């Protein structure tokens, strides 16, 4: 498929604050290079034909494995979507073997940087200090951080709000101590729901994100920031959530591009219904 290039001002990152919904996909390390490229081409075809993506009502991005990022950014950018990295280092350059800085991610066409995912906390021992430093690196390089937060064990919505608000504050306070902040997308991913057969209940998700969204957007410089849900999210979920939930951060349930299209359609229908109700 050949997609016409869009003006730089129409790219997802530039129109992000005006987006009414956010849908993101992390491919983790499931796909190899060619399969990732093919996936991005399929998503671009869907995005280019989707009115809500083209109008900017839905902000759509994919986080592929890093070697795919330049091609993914080119393919998705031409269709009104965007790409980013699943991780960045907290320094922009230096003797840090194997790491990739935010400067390089931006140079490769990335517009987002995921930080603080539960797997990186658990497997690589990343703590609030490291996550705050990486958040600062994203801001510094003009990237939108996808800041992942989430409680380890299921409990009450009030407990989840308290814990996740503390995680947000720890990351943003550290980041803001190092330089100007920017817009943030917080991905609320309860750790007990990641990889589970089913997500958390719609009532639980809506209650937690309503609290987190209010907390986040009241922080200095974060009025345009939003909270989305991740953790076994798939088709059908967005239709059951409160409108305080800005969107979804998808994993394996979006590996089929047609499932992603269904989610985009559901999100657009929800936006339309909200507009009619208003």
pLDDT digits (tens, 9 = 90+) for 63-95: 999 999 999 999 999 999 999 999 999 999 999
Contact 40, 71 (CB under 8 A): yes
Residue of 71, 189, 215, 266 marked catalytic = 189
pLDDT for residue 1 is more than 60 = no
Contact 147, 249 (CB under 8 A): no
Q: Three-state SS for 102?
A: helix
Superfamily in which the 8-277 domain is placed by CATH: Aldolase class I (3.20.20.70)
Q: Which pLDDT belongs to residue 175?
A: 97
pLDDT for residue 271 is more than 60 = yes
117 catalytic per annotation: yes
Q: Which pLDDT belongs to residue 275?
A: 79
Q: Give the chain's end-to-end CA distance (angstroms, integer).
A: 38
Listing DSSP states for 215-259 in one string gives HHHTSTT-TT-EEEEESS--TTSGGGS-TT--EEEE-GGGSSHHH
Q: What band does 3 get if pLDDT is binned at 50, 70 and 90?
A: very low
Mean of the per-residue pLDDT values of the chain: 93
| Domain edges within the chain | 8-277
| Of 141, 150, 131, residue with least CA distance to 87 | 131
Residue of 59, 71, 114, 117 marked catalytic = 117
pLDDT tens digits for 186-197? 999 999 998 888
255 catalytic per annotation: no
pLDDT for residue 5 is more than 80 = no
> Which residues neighbour 171 within 8 Å (Cβ) at sequence distance 6 or greater?
115, 116, 128, 131, 132, 135, 147
């Amino acid at each position: 498929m050949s997609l016409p290039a869009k003006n730089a001002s129409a790219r997802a990152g530039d129109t992000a604050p005006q987006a009414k919904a956010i849908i993101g996909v992390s491919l983790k390390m499931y796909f190899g290079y060619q399969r990732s490229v093919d996936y991005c081409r399929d998503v671009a075809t869907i995005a280019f034909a989707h009115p809500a993506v083209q109008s900017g009502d839905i902000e759509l991005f994919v986080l592929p494995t890093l070697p795919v990022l330049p091609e993914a950014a080119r393919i998705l950018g031409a269709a009104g979507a965007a790409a980013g990295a699943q991780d960045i280092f907290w320094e922009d350059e230096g003797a840090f073997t194997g790491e990739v800085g935010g400067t390089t991610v931006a140079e490769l066409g990335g517009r987002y940087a995921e930080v603080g995912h539960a797997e990186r906390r658990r497997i690589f021992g990343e703590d609030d200090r490291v996550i705050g430093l990486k958040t600062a690196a994203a801001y510094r390089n003009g990237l939108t951080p996808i800041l992942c937060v989430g409680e380890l064990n299921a409990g009450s919505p009030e407990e989840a709000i308290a814990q996740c608000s503390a995680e947000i504050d720890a990351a943003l306070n550290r980041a803001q101590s190092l330089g100007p902040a920017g817009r943030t997308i917080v991905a609320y991913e309860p750790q007990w729901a990641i990889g589970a057969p089913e997500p958390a209940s719609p009532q639980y998700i809506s209650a937690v994100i309503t609290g987190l969204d209010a907390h986040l957007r009241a922080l200095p410089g974060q009025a345009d920031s939003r909270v989305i849900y991740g953790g076994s999210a798939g088709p059908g979920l967005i239709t059951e959530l409160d409108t305080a939930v800005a969107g979804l951060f998808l994993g394996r349930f979006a590996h089929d591009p047609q499932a992603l299209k269904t989610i985009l359609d559901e999100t657009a229908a929800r936006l339309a219904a909200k507009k009619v109700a208003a």
